């Protein structure tokens, strides 16, 4: 009997052992891609930031000294980082507040063709990102649509346009909100669309008002989708540099613009590497924290 059991166990385990070479063969391509184009660049930038690597003749020694000055607040870049955090938080909150009603309407109010309407919501993604941002320059400029309308109704003089509409923090936050709303509506829509309608009906039957049903049932059950939507906006916005470059000006200058300028115009790769690794560490920490929170929420909801 023991020999028979051992033979059956060998027959069961043998196919699994034979699948390892095939699995490794399938994973080798993606793993090699990640190592070459993701891990290796991070290692190079990390080594550059501490002075272990030098590629340019203009590289200054003392990467650890740059880290010390940066973390001690002696550098202007740490203040710029906190400015970017504030702008990213503002944009993230605004985007979530705008996207939630859209997702709620599509998921719980529309009975038919809600996926057609959802496709219309995300249709702007079919247009080039740069074209959409440049269109806002036309709208917000001194001779743009808004100022021209104010000139036409005689609320402003042609030589006194509203200058803060463009090349300001307001312009950056406005354009980022416009860009991210369709994308952020998706995870919230999925979270609301998967709600058990019987729970909402039970809350209504027990006499709860619409506001109580929304706040105590609907919103709390959709909170993982809301947090995911917030993360989708906050983390990319924290390192954003294209939108501030086009519509931000000096007032809307962000942390990502500093990194880009150090690597391209300033040719100070040492300081740029320090800023990039710091941002990467912050993003990794935020992803770990949000991932842990979402996992707890998922377990609690189950």
User: Tell me: the pLDDT tens digits for 44-102?
Assistant: 999 888 887 877 776 777 668 889 988 887 789 999 999 999 999 999 999 999 999 99
Is 266 within 8 Å of 250 (Cβ atoms)? no
Domain ranges of the chain: 78-301
pLDDT at 4 over 50: no
User: Which helix (H) or strand (E) is 266 found in, with range?
Assistant: none
What is the percent of the chain where pLDDT is above 90?
Answer: 30
Is the pLDDT score of 294 beyond 60?
yes
151-166 per-position pLDDT tens digit: 888 888 878 888 888 9
Mean pLDDT across the chain: 84
The residue among 300 and 21 whose pLDDT is bigger is 21
296 pLDDT band (50/70/90 cuts)?
A: very low
Residue 61 CA to residue 120 CA, distance in Å, equals: 54
Supply the pLDDT for residue 10: 53
In angstroms, rounded to a whole number, what is the distance separating the alpha carbons of residues 275 and 285?
15
Instruction: Show Cβ contacts of residue 88 under 8 Å, excluding neighbours closer than 6 positions.
Output: 233, 234, 237, 238, 240
Read off the tokens for 144.
């743009």
Q: What confidence score (pLDDT) does residue 51 get?
A: 80
Helix H segments across 141-222? 145-152, 169-193, 197-205, 210-213, 219-221
Name the token pair of 34: 């990640």
CA R_g for the chain: 26
Q: Is the pLDDT of residue 9 over 70?
A: no
Q: pLDDT for 273-288, tens place per residue?
A: 999 999 999 999 988 8
pLDDT value of position 170 = 94
What's the rounded mean pLDDT across residues 163-188? 91
The predicted structure's pLDDT at residue 293: 65
pLDDT over threshold 80, residue 26: no
Under a CB-based contact definition with an 8 Å cutoff, are residues 149 and 139 in contact? no
Please state, for a pLDDT cut of 70, what percent of the chain lies above it.
88
Average pLDDT over residues 240-266: 91
> Is the sign of the CA dihedral 176, 182, 187, 192 positive or negative?
positive
Taking 70 as the threshold, does the pLDDT of residue 118 lie above it? yes
Would you state the pLDDT for residue 15? 52
Q: What is the CATH number of domain 78-301?
A: 1.10.3720.10
Cα–Cα distance measured from residue 77 to residue 258, given in angstroms and rounded to the nearest whole number: 8
- What pLDDT, on the 0 to 100 scale, is given for residue 100? 94
Mean pLDDT confidence for 115-124: 84
- pLDDT bin (cut points 50, 70, 90) of residue 300 is very low
Does residue 8 have a pLDDT over 60?
A: no
């Amino acid at each position: 009997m023991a020999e028979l059991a051992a033979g059956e166990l060998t027959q069961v385990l043998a196919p699994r052992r034979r699948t390892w070479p095939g699995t490794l063969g399938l994973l080798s391509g993606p793993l090699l891609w990640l190592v070459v184009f993701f891990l290796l660049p991070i290692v190079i930038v990390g080594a550059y930031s501490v002075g272990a690597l030098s590629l340019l003749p203009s590289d200054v020694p003392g990467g650890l000294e740059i880290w010390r000055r940066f973390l001690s607040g002696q550098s202007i870049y740490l203040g710029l980082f906190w400015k970017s955090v504030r702008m990213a938080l503002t944009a993230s909150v605004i985007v979530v507040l705008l996207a939630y009603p859209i997702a709620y309407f599509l998921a719980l109010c529309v009975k038919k063709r809600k996926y057609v309407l959802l496709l219309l919501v995300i249709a702007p993604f079919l247009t080039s990102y740069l074209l959409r941002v440049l269109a806002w320059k036309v709208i917000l400029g001194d001779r743009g649509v808004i100022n021209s309308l104010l000139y036409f109704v005689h609320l402003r003089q042609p030589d006194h346009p509203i200058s803060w509409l463009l090349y300001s923090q307001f312009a950056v936050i406005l354009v980022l909100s416009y860009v991210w709303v369709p994308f952020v509506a998706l995870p919230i829509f999925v979270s609301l669309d998967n709600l058990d309608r019987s729970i909402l009906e039970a809350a209504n039957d027990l006499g709860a008002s619409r506001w109580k049903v929304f706040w105590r049932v609907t919103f709390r059950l959709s909170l993982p989708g809301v947090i995911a939507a917030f993360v989708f906006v906050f983390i990319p916005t924290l390192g954003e540099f294209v939108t501030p470059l086009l519509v931000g000006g000096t007032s809307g200058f962000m942390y990502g613009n500093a990194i880009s300028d150090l690597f391209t115009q300033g040719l100070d790769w040492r300081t740029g590497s320090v800023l990039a690794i710091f941002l990467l560490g912050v993003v990794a920490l935020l992803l770990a924290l949000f991932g842990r929170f979402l996992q707890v929420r998922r377990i609690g909801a189950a």
